[in-house]
Amino acid sequence: MRLANLLPKVLRRSTKSGDDPNERRSFNYWYRVRDWWWPNDEDAIHNMFYLKHIVDEFPLELQAFILNDDAGRHIEISDETSSRTEPLFDPSHLQPLENITLIGQSERKLQAIVSKSKERIDVETKNSEPKTSLPHNLGQADLALGSVDEWLFGAYYIGNIKFKKVGLSYLADRARKRLFFIFAADEILDAMVGQNTNQKLNNTWHSKVSGAVRGYLYVENDEVKSHPPILFSFVVGVQPSRIRRCGICESYFWAGRKDKKVCSEQCGATSRKREQRIRDYEKKIGTRRRKRKNRK
């Protein structure tokens, strides 16, 4: 829910597109990423370019959620005989489960995650530029150790963390899935609020692009069970009548009490002020009407 609340209001389900040219610019990038996306190496540089523009306008927490990717990160593996590092793989894209824990982290930590992720994107971008055979100085004595590693083993370092080369296209596609994961969350919560929930749920389509709608089978105590897809695991079983949209700030919130109409104390105060103003206004009109009646 917090994930969807961080989404800029212009891009939310509840908002109709505005006429602000700045908004329209981000809409153009947005349509480019949504509708003209070809997941291949030739388009990867452009894809990532548009994606980064969209993400740059997001709050830091969402930037971290979208950009942070552990696929290809080397982790320490030790057994009795040796200790070595091996790259992580995440073929089912479980990354959102990990990245959702970033929501609410300190700004400093998020800042570091975002800048490291961007650094990694830059390295992969360079790698995906047209290849010019081997670097001319390969084999020379002054060759930095890091680049030997890169050329021989397809790995590179960001800070002190070692990554396997995964390809820009791969990184871009996964980041795009996480972008749509957020939109899908907004779409699902929007369906929960108000009428026609099932109809709205039927029409959700961001979830399909999020790559997070595959369920998982597992066996426990000699019984086959299924785990809901990551995207749905956050809402399966909850009472939709308690999911509401704040009448003041439009954020989604969980109504602990049935009559709750606003998300926070602050919005409650704003709402009371507004009601007071309406009452004052009605009083004014009311007295004027009465005066007019008296005159007749």
| Closest separation in Å from C-beta 4 to Zn ion | 14
* Tokens (6 digits) for 81: 């005989």
Considering the complex, state which of residue 156 and residue 252 has its C-beta at the smaller distance from Zn ion. 252
Binding site for Zn ion (CB under 5 A): 246, 248-249, 263, 267
Closest CB 248 distance from Zn ion, rounded Å: 5
Closer of 230 and 267 to Zn ion (Cβ): 267
Give the residue with the Cβ less far from Zn ion, 88 or 248. Answer: 248
Q: What are phi and psi of 155, to 5 degrees?
A: -130, 160
Given the complex with Zn ion, which of 51 and 267 has the nearer CB atom?
A: 267
For 165: left if phi > 0, alpha if psi spans -120 to 50, otherwise beta; the answer is beta
The dihedral through the CA atoms of 224, 227, 229, 232 has a sign that is positive
Closer residue to Zn ion, CB minimum distance, 235 or 249: 249
* Cβ at position 270, least distance to Zn ion in Å: 8
Please state the closest distance from residue 181 (CB atom) to Zn ion, in A: 23
CB of 62 to Zn ion, least distance (A): 19
Cα atoms found within 13 Å of the Cα of residue 241, Cβ hemisphere only = 3
Q: Which is nearer to Zn ion, 161 or 248 (CB)?
A: 248
CB of 280 to Zn ion, least distance (A): 23
Residues belonging to the chain: 296
Closest CA relative to residue 47, chosen from 141, 179, 185, 154: 179
Q: Count CA atoms closer than 13 A to 247's CA, side-chain side.
A: 13
Q: How far is residue 213's CA from residue 236's CA, in Å, rounded to a whole number?
A: 13
Q: What are phi and psi of 76, to 5 degrees?
A: -70, 130
